[in-house]
Amino acid sequence: MSTVLKWIVRIFGVLIGLLLIVFVVAAAMPAQADPDVGEDHGAGASSVQPSYTGLQREFPALNETAANPTTDAKADLGRLLFFDPVLSANNDTACATCHQPDLGFADGRSTAIGPNGTELARNTPTLWNVGYAQNLFWDGRLDSLEAQSNIPLTHPDEMGVTDTDALVAEVAAIGEYETMFNAAFDDGVTLANIENALAAFQRTLITDNSPFDQYAAGDVDALTPSQRRGLALFRSGATRCFECHTAPTFASDTFRVVGVPSDDPGRAGVTADGSEGAFKVPTLRNIALTAPYMHNGSLETLEAVVDFYADGGGRLHGQENVDVFVQGFELTDQERLDLVAFLYALTDESGMPEVPTAVPSGLPVIQPTENPARAEVANHNVGGETGIELDDREPMTIVVQEGESVQTAVDQARPGDIIEVPYGVYHERVVIDINDITLRGIPNEAGERPIFDGEGVLTEGVIASGNNFIVGNLHVRNYTDNGVLVEGVTGVHFHDIFAENVGTYGVYPVRSTDVLIERVEVTGVDDAGVYAGQCENVIVRDSVVYGNVLGIELENTIGGEIYNNHAYDNTVGIFVVLLPQLTSKISANTLVYGNLVEDNNHENFAPPGATAGIAPSGVGILLLATDNADVYNNEIRDNKTTGVAVFSLTSTGAFDVNEVNVGPLPENNWVHDNTYENNGYDADPFVKDLGIPTADILWDGTGMNNRFNEASASSFPPLVPGDGWPNFVRRGYTNILGFLVSQLL
């Protein structure tokens, strides 16, 4: 018997030793971590200050490389090369053959046609403002203008060069080119310097003085009334054009599936993690000059493009992976005309380079091409040409008069003014672009606030893009998309607003900096009652949210503080998240404290395809892929799935890993000193299907340095790391747990 016991002891000792070895190895392994996005995270405002309106935005840095700084000598050389057919194998095709200046540096065709008559797969993109792009070609295969030049030079169906040494020799044999190359570069004519010169020239193709830019700079007459209405539609939550076509470039370096019927794999064709059918978001600057549209040129007019998106893009044809921002919308005939009119207002050819009449090779240069769109541009862009003419007066208070619209008062305002809205019911959408404006309601003797009522037809109660904007003492109801939307500004204060049944968001600051939201009450919206997206420095306090899908949401935001709020009867009470495919690539440094988060068990009623639709019912506080959140001193009770959940983007299968272009892991979050009662008593079916037991705290085991110091709370896993654990123990445990969870989920 003693021999058997000895062997049992030995075997047990070996097993313990093996487990210790596994743990030590796990602790020694580097932790899986998200990449550091650095200071270029994309959150917050990019507005120019000082300025007259909040519509002026800082252009990004040019995509110039340290190895190829732009000089006048390089750019002028590149200009001649751009128009010279000598760069093609048969001396019959120049860069300008497909990128014709008169056609918006495109070619006016659905898809390009090579010199041998071969039809290429995609539409020729414009080169205007290509110097700001970080991803090139429709599929984003390259990020360097220098490298980009080599593709058309050597493509057999484009310029067709097979012997680049022979091309260099041919160019070097032209005396004028040899002199120019020697002046521009230390090493004269090389293939790399041909590409460098072409890149330098393309970076000079800047368009930034359109009627819109003039209006943004303060020329209030630069846009026609129709174009101003179109600008409001462009920025509205109904069309959501501004979400992807972001000012000032009206483009973004993201890839979207809009659902144009096509078998082209798009981004998926050049990278393993690309989404099938996703293409780069193109610029809308000079868009009126570059018809036809989309990656395959399948839509002939801007009106057809608007109709395509109004119909929900590919959703109309049953495509399932269409981008969340392409949801479809309704426009009246006049609104359709207005939106197209605004797109014409993005036209500016004042930076057109001189087209040479002759090139050093002596080969024929492309001839001017008539573009009928220019006449349409002239017909649309008939705003004032007198420049900025503003009243020179001190700030004043403007009171909306009986029978007058609020917008009429807004249109009289100048920076620093206060617009007072007496009690009444106003059926309108108010648009404010001017900086330093206060819009405040004046309650009646009973304390009732003035009412903005969209009657279930209008999209937003208020749309604003002015810096230092204050809005409050309003009751906003019955809008189809949002209550109050503020986009791209620095300094915004929402206060004392009651929003009900206003569509997607109650109050909606996006891409803004220094946001204060206080004493706001929101109910009945199908996304987030209080929402701050892609913002920097946000405070949400003393507010009440109930009967929404998400109570309070901070999305891709840095520096948030959520305190002293009451979130109840939502699907999720408080949601802090990092989502993919947005300009901001960060969600970090959020404080969540002193809130009452209870009974958030409402059925999820988000519209089909909305990201909010993934939220499981019954979650008090959800941290999804966010970093450095500190959740403490909250009272969390009666949430049927869980009190606090900390998850990655990819562990549940809710997001396609091929679409996740942000760090998916929750890292460095600390949940501590909260009060829990009666959470996790009947989990949402989504959580049940994952096989996760219910508890006060749910963690999927991903992300390093997450800590939970909640002595009286139940949790899954039953053992969660705390702040007092040694780093190597926490790392080893997390590595092992993450591995096990990845095998189970």
Measured between alpha carbons, how far is residue 536 from residues 556, 582, 655 in Å?
A: 9, 15, 25
For residue 555, indicate whether it is catalytic. no
Q: With bands split at pLDDT 50, 70 and 90, how would you rate the model's confidence at 320?
A: confident
C-alpha span between 731 and 468 (Å, rounded): 45
Dig out the tokens for 611 from the structure.
């990201």
- Within 13 Å of residue 344, how many CA atoms lie on the same side as its CB? 27
pLDDT, position 387: 45
The single residue of 158, 195, 487, 598 carrying the catalytic annotation is 158
Confidence of residue 744 (pLDDT cuts 50, 70, 90): low
pLDDT confidence tier of residue 689, bands split at 50, 70 and 90? confident
Residues 659, 259: Cα–Cα separation, whole Å: 15
Q: What is the pLDDT of residue 390?
A: 56
Residue 698 confidence (pLDDT): 94
Query: Which of 387-391, 660-664, 738-742 comes out lowest in average pLDDT?
Result: 387-391
* Mean pLDDT, rounded, for 594-621: 95
**What pTM does this model have?**
0.86
User: What does residue 675 show for φ and ψ, rounded to 5 degrees?
Assistant: -110, 130
The mean predicted confidence, pLDDT, of the chain is 90
pLDDT in tens, 448-506: 999 999 999 999 999 999 999 999 999 999 999 999 999 999 999 999 999 999 999 99
Residues β-bridged to residue 493: 470, 516
CATH 1.10.760.10 residue spans of the chain: 72-206, 211-344
Query: How high is the pLDDT of residue 13?
Result: 41
φ/ψ of residue 642, rounded to 5 = -170, 160
- DSSP classification of residue 627: B
325: Cα within 13 Å, side-chain hemisphere: 21
> CB–CB of 670/630 below 8 Å?
yes
What's the CATH number for 72-206?
Answer: 1.10.760.10
Give tens-digit pLDDT for 247-292: 999 998 889 999 998 889 989 999 888 889 999 999 999 999 999 9
Q: What is the dihedral of CA 691, 693, 699, 700, to 10 degrees?
A: -10
Q: DSSP for 2-13, please give it.
A: HHHHHHHHHHHH
Average pLDDT estimate for 50-62: 88
pLDDT, mean of residues 103-126: 92
What is the structure's pLDDT at 609?
82
* Residues 154-163: tens digit of each pLDDT: 999 999 999 9
Identify the pLDDT of residue 734.
76
Q: What is the mean pLDDT of residues 710-716?
A: 91
Radius of gyration of the chain (CA): 29
- CATH class, domain 211-344, is mainly alpha
> How many alpha carbons fall within 13 Å on the CB side of residue 451?
14
